[in-house]
Amino acid sequence: MAMASPPFISTFNFNPISFKTTLPPLSSSSSLTPKLRRPFLRFSVKASRKQVEIVFDPDERLNKIGDDVDKEAPLSRLKLFSPCKINVFLRITNKREDGFHDLASLFHVISLGDTIKFSLSPSKSKDRLSTNVQGVPVDGRNLIIKALNLYRKKTGSDRFFWIHLDKKVPTGAGLGGGSSNAATALWAANQLNGGLVTEKELQDWSSEIGSDIPFFFSHGAAYCTGRGEIVQDLPPPFPHDLPMVLIKPREACSTAEVYKRLRLDQTSNINPLTLLENVSSNGVSQSICINDLELPAFQVLPSLKRLKQRIIASGRGEYDAVFMSGSGSTIVGIGSPDPPQFIYDDEEYKNVFLSEANFMTREANEWYKEPASATATTSSSESRLDFQ
């Protein structure tokens, strides 16, 4: 460890005519070099019968300058958690003239998520996106790039970014991973541009590139209507320590295919506001976790229906509710972080994606915080996660 240097000791003898300074001689072995950790000057000043000692510590001054610079310097990089969501219930209430469907759903953020690193790029013409998995586009098809382009279009900013996406949320899962990435990118772009606009503006703009994106600008729990872009923030309806398990087969569900097979006369007729009231009063139960997209999703992927049935049968009451999230193909079991034993034993399920999770929310004016511990695995010791 470097030691602090010995002080300069200077004696100033004042008289009406002369001013004299004496310094100790310096040698080549002197520790007083620019590499010293904490050089300082100590002056012992005699004036008349009074002696005043003045200590000058350049490190302290430089540290203060550094602190002032840090306060003034613009933010240049960010590392953010990008959590996914589940639909605790999902009612499809109408088909619109524009081809979309009206829905009414309780969305909730959960603790499974990706990590995204953003840094300012010297480029003035292009963002650069990299990722840790194959099958995820890194060009203009990716919602992260679309979100950054949208931010520049709306604000006039000329800043571009380097982005690395550490992907943990599978695609085609009904978990909104891509939508969360887009919302996180909008938040990051705004922070790295000095906060040019409000969260409400980011939320409003985000619906232009995806129906689920506005939800992530809630505080983590929301009742969403319209295409999903009308977001009513809710106080947290569930305790954060309520565990769940996510089980996603290797096969994905095409959202377009699921909606193509949807028949409104085969959906539930329960009022979604009644479901919301029941959640507020009684918490999670199987009767509340209705998903109108399950039936068409099970037609697209019949093995998904069998998986849900087996989880319910094998759970022996361990789960408060078992349901599909979004348009699939993730089955959620709330009440336990553990999958049924058959998931490990049956060859059919050796490649499923497994993750335990909890409900989570965020504080005002902050983004979602990565949980201290998050587990996402496959059912075998070797990761076979397929994001294609």
Which residue has tokens 């979309």?
A: 100
CA dist 92 and 214 (Å) reads 18
What lies within 8 Å, CB to CB, of 5 at 6+ separation is: 31, 32, 36, 38, 39, 40
Told to judge if 117 belongs to the known catalytic residues of this protein, a careful annotator would answer no
Name beta bridge partners: 337: none
Count Cα neighbours of 67 within 13 Å in the Cβ-side half-sphere.
6
Q: Which of 85, 146, 168, 308 is catalytic?
A: 85
Beta strand pairing call for 128-131 and 161-166 = parallel
Helix (H) or strand (E) holding 287: none
Q: Both tokens of residue 363?
A: 């504080």
Peptide bond into 280 cis (omega under 30): no
68 is catalytic: no
Catalytic one of 114, 212, 292, 320:
212
Task: Determine the Cα–Cα distance for residues 349 and 310; give it in Å rounded to an integer.
Answer: 12
Backbone CA torsion sign across 283, 284, 285, 286: positive
| Residues whose CB falls within 8 Å of the CB of residue 72, separated by 6 or more in sequence, listed in order | none
**CA-angle at 157, arms to 153 and 158, nearest 5°:** 105
**Could you tell me if 330 and 294 are in contact, meaning their C-beta atoms sit under 8 angstroms apart?**
no
Catalytic residue list: 85, 212
